[in-house]
Structure 1
Amino acid sequence: MEDTRLERTLTLAHLVLFGISFMALGTVFSTYGIVAQMTQGMVPSAYILALIAMLFTALSYGRMASAYPISGSAYTYAQKAISPSVGFMVGWSILVDYLFLPMVNYLVFANFIHAAIPSVPVYVWILLMLVLVTVVNVRGVKLAANVSLVVNLCAILFIVVFSFLSIRHILTNQSVFELFSISPFFQHGIDISTVVAGASILCFSFLGFDSVTTFAEEVKKPEKTLPRAVLLVTIIGGIVFIAVSYLAQLVYPDYASFANPDSAAFEIIQYIGGEALASFFIVMIATGTFGSAMVSHASVGRLLYSMGRDGVLPKKWFGYIHPTFKTPARNLLFVSLISLSALFLSLGTAASLINFGAFLAFSCVNISVIMHFYIRRKERSGVGAFRNLLFPIIGTAMDLYLLLNLDSYSLVLGISWLIIGFVYLLVLTKGFKQQPPQMGMDAA
């Protein structure tokens, strides 16, 4: 039982599908109306800025994944490159991020389906989805990857249909030249600060590119596959977000007339495709949130496994791998119990904690690249100075800027969680008289 380990069965295609599922391409519709009004119709420009910011951090994740191709993601990278104590605090901060992401998806899924079928209570949909996601993830990572493929195909199909109908609408009601308008990217008199503010919100759409690194010990040739997967997920997501928001702006340029900015995309979808496309949209959102819940649920199970194997968390429970399914089954059940909080917690509370943990972890991954490659391995000449110092510094600055610009409620909740983790670390290390437990590289 003690020798049971994760099995290397995943390919680059599997990882990209997982990452895209985690990001949920449909989020471009969820945030469109709010950012359109904030940026005065320049959502594509805001997405470009957000993509640039996330690419620097994605490069750092790829660098560290090639150096340490083991489970744990940001927790492992900070632990190995900076210090075990810093690694613990990064793991602690991102732990709440991962723990609450499945719950957010259960809430979104249940709310949309309840809107379509109001006779069935929200809690029924939450419980049904939670049970289904748990069963799929416990049964095995390849089954989850196959389910992820179906989910992504649904989202991609909707985006293709939306794009086709948008282009047809423009050609029918305007002209072919409108397809090449620069107004969604640049307008005279628009303050650039509004676009930057929009980008800070849209960066949340990219959360998930890092999730693929938690599957490091189930990937074939992880040193090459993981960096490619991280970049591909970030770039693919960015291109889709920019293209969809561009077409939405061309089709419906009067961003100030939305009845409700939160559901503005639904208004646009009804405008170009009627009730048929609106119904398809509900299906796409439902399957997209299911896919994101499935991947986030699986990811946190592996993060807990890494911390349990290290002895940072109780090893008997968190370091367990099911001998048949080769999955951290106990951790997945534990995450399901945490996700039951969707029955009484608000979406705002969960989102506040998620945002704080993500940007703190992103910053530390960038710093890990500097510590490991530039300082420790002294890769400083030529391209190395850019890859190992300049790019991570830019990534760190961007992440910290986004972190500090979160609302005060998010900062208070995030700092409170960090204080709890610090107290636990004090107990674990007996007042820093000993180092937190670490996993040797050979244990992977």
Structure 2
Amino acid sequence: MANLKRTLSLGSVVLFGIAYMTPIIVLGTFGILADVTNGQVPAAYVAATLAMLFTALSYAKMATAFPVAGSAYTYVRKSINAKLGFLAGWALLLDYLFLPMAIWLIGAAYLGSAFPEVPQAVWVLGFIVVTSLINMVGLQLAKTVNGLLMVVQLLVLVAFVALCVHYVAGDGSKPLWSLQPFFDGSFSLPLVMGGAAIACYSFLGFDAVSTLTEETRDPQKTIPRAILLITLFGGLIFIVTAYFVQLAHPGAVFTSTDSAAYEIARNIGGDLFVSIFLIGLIVGQFTSGLSAQASASRLLFAMGRDGVLPKRLFGTLSKRFGTPLGSILLCAVVALLALKLDVTTSTSFINFGAFLAFSLVNLSVIFHYWIGGARRGARELLQYLLFPLLGMFATLWLMVSLDHLAITLGLCWLALGVVYLAWLTSGFRRQPPELQFDAA
């Protein structure tokens, strides 16, 4: 049986998760969130952070119970039902397979606007080829590249926040501390929750690191800690950044919501800072795409190794690099769809798969610990029943807060998964293929 090598420490896993989240994306999507929430972006990130923290606790509990690759797919399959586990994995495939494509497409769109003489397809292909080659060589190289580029990204983000503070303080008419970015006279909970449903796109890295369990040292301690740290750090970065940006530009009126951050960057830092900001965004998209493709390939490897997907293509590792080459190549092929799609279409239904998988992971905690393990004490009531229920209801609420197109496309993907499962199990008469994982 093929096994991945354990080389990643707590710091490496946290770095990978933060890079996957792409902290600078809070600026790239600021205009869209401001428009949806009517100028209350920080409130949307607070709601998203609280919802994600409950789900992160559930991921941490399940990563302790099952320290193997596969994420929600493994947790639901082993704690509830093999068929439902397959559908959890199918939901994650929607998220993981299309996320790298969307990330690279956004990066290519930024570069296309800065260098209109270069066809956007060139940038898309460049992202795909370079990122795939790095992931084929292995996570050690990807970890080094991520570390260097994360420094650049975070420096740009810190500079943006610092210039917002200087802009507000220099004006003298606005206080640096105010509740207005969170609650103004037009506060609306449905609008904030609609914004939170979009804002959760930025948190997807916290669950992705659970797919790296079999490459992490002491995973039963490291992965749960990493999941919680990533969620907390990410939420703090998003809330603080959104607060000061909203303070520097109150309301939701922009020349273009898609490029709102450029407008704000020019107001607070001039033309030179706009160029620096563009570099930071591109670096952020590259690091995020690197981590997204790595996590997607590990999920495909886990499903292929079980025989749920063709084992010959997905369930084997490269003899030279020890990486799942077939899975990495599939991610690259799927990303080629970016040559024919726009950003809106490619990203509209990604969160549907994430919210469905998050809900099932919360449910798996209840089945594994509360029902199956009979953990019924007062403390266990909070940890294994109430908290998972809160996480499940929060993610379902966010799911129904998505726009109708996202829900429709997500349901179509889920229906396709049910059809494939019916074929795989001969009309649901037998269980999907299963492999006993060895965490040693």
Q: TM-score, normalised by structure 1?
A: 0.96
How far off is 1:146 after superposition? Answer: 1.1
Residue in structure 2 matched with residue 94 of structure 1 by the alignment: 92
Residue in structure 1 matched with residue 248 of structure 2 by the alignment: 251
How far off is 1:323 after superposition? Answer: 1.8
Quote the sequence identity (%): 45
Uncovered stretches (5+) of structure 1, i.e. residues with no partner = none
SS at match of 1:291: helix
Cα distance per residue 1:277-326 (max 9 Å; x no partner): 11111111111111111111111111111011101111111111112211
How far off is 1:208 after superposition? Answer: 1.8
Matched, 1:40 2:38: yes
Q: Contact between 1:4 and 1:322, CA under 8 Å: does it hold in 2?
A: no
* Letter of the 1:316 counterpart: R
Give matches, 1:38-437, under 5 Å: 38-174=36-172, 178-188=175-185, 190-253=187-250, 255-437=251-433
Change (3 A) 1:277 1:84: same
* Letter of the 1:235 counterpart: L
* Letter of the 2:225 counterpart: R
Mapped partners of 2:73, 2:42: distance in 1: 33
How far off is 1:194 after superposition? Answer: 2.7
How far off is 1:383 after superposition? Answer: 1.4
Q: Contact between 2:197 and 2:399, CA under 8 Å: does it hold in 1?
A: no
SS at match of 2:176: helix
Change (3 A) 1:205 1:442: closer
Change (3 A) 1:259 1:308: same
How far off is 1:144 after superposition? Answer: 0.6
How far off is 1:4 after superposition? Answer: 4.3
Residue in structure 2 matched with residue 19 of structure 1 by the alignment: 17
Mapped partners of 1:442, 1:130: distance in 2: 32
SS at match of 1:180: coil
How far off is 1:398 after superposition? Answer: 1.0
Matched, 1:442 2:433: no
SS at match of 1:179: coil
Task: Quote the RMSD (CA, aligned, Å).
Answer: 1.5
Mapped partners of 1:256, 1:141: distance in 2: 41
How far off is 1:443 after superposition? Answer: 6.9
Deviates further, 343-352 or 288-297: 343-352
Q: Contact between 1:110 and 1:125, CA under 8 Å: does it hold in 2?
A: yes
Deviates further, 145-154 or 178-187: 178-187
Mapped partners of 1:376, 1:342: distance in 2: 44
Mapped partners of 1:380, 1:434: distance in 2: 33
How far off is 1:256 after superposition? Answer: 4.3
Mapped partners of 1:126, 1:201: distance in 2: 24
Q: Contact between 1:93 and 1:418, CA under 8 Å: does it hold in 2?
A: yes
Mapped partners of 1:201, 1:353: distance in 2: 11
Mapped partners of 1:34, 1:100: distance in 2: 20
How far off is 1:341 after superposition? Answer: 0.9
Paired residue total = 440
How far off is 1:391 after superposition? Answer: 0.6
